Structure formats: structure tokens, C-alpha cells
């Protein structure tokens, strides 16, 4: 229901749930099919330990995963939550604490 409110019913119905683990992190989230791409990056939502963040390298990695599937200037709809040891996340990179550095 929340995803439908944010992305619309059509996109919400087509979202693909993802989940993955390594020894350092646990990722959960949703990704949209390429046909639901957008003209800006605002629909790439990244969270670390429940905190909304901005990280250039993570954003770039998401875009790289889609780059052969989308036209230039189009961006995916992605919602990812990464759970990891807080010691590996530096939130003191920017006063707003949105930008983070990962170890």
C-alpha cells in the first residue's frame, strides 16, 4: 500500500522484491522493471540502517545495474534498505547527515 501511494498502483504492482546477504550486510528492497524508468534520479531511494542517505557510489552502482536496459537519460525506480554494522558507516560527512561514507 505504501509503495502504491509513492509510485502509483501500476508501478507498485510490477515492483520486484529483492533480498541479499553477505557477512557484512543485509539488503532488502524493491526494484521496478525498466519500462517504469523516470527522467531523473529522485526515484532511487537508499537507506542504511533505516536512515535515508545519499551516496554517489551506491547510486552509481544502481544505475550501472540498469545501464544496458534503459535509454540514456532514464533512471530506475529503486528502494533499497541496507542493514550493516554502524561502525562501517560514517554519517558525519555532511551537516545534514544525508551523505555517508562507507568503510
Distance CA(15)–CA(11), nearest Å, equals: 6
The answer to whether 42 and 62 are in contact (CB under 8 A) is no
The residues spanned by each domain of the chain are 2-102
Q: Are 44 and 75 in contact (CB under 8 A)?
A: yes
The arrangement of secondary structure in 2-102, i.e. its CATH architecture, is 2-Layer Sandwich (3.30)
Number of Cβ within 10 Å of residue 93's Cβ equals 15
Segment 19-64, tens digit of pLDDT: 999 999 999 999 999 999 999 999 999 999 999 999 999 999 999 9
Rounded mean pLDDT of 54-80? 95
pTM: 0.88
Residue 1 has pLDDT above 90, yes or no: no
Report the pLDDT value the prediction gives residue 49, as an integer from 0 to 100.
95
d(CA 71, CA 39): 10
Amino acid at each position: 500500500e505504501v509503495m502504491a501511494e509513492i509510485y502509483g498502483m501500476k508501478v507498485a504492482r510490477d515492483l520486484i522484491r529483492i533480498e541479499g546477504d553477505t557477512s557484512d550486510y543485509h539488503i532488502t528492497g524493491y526494484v521496478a522493471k525498466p519500462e517504469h524508468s523516470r527522467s531523473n534520479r529522485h526515484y532511487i531511494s537508499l537507506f542504511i540502517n533505516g536512515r535515508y542517505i545519499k551516496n554517489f557510489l551506491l547510486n552509481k552502482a544502481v544505475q550501472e545495474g540498469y545501464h544496458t536496459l534503459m535509454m540514456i537519460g532514464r533512471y530506475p525506480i529503486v528502494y533499497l534498505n541496507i542493514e550493516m554494522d554502524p561502525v562501517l558507516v560514517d554519517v558525519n560527512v555532511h551537516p545534514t547527515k544525508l551523505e555517508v561514507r562507507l568503510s
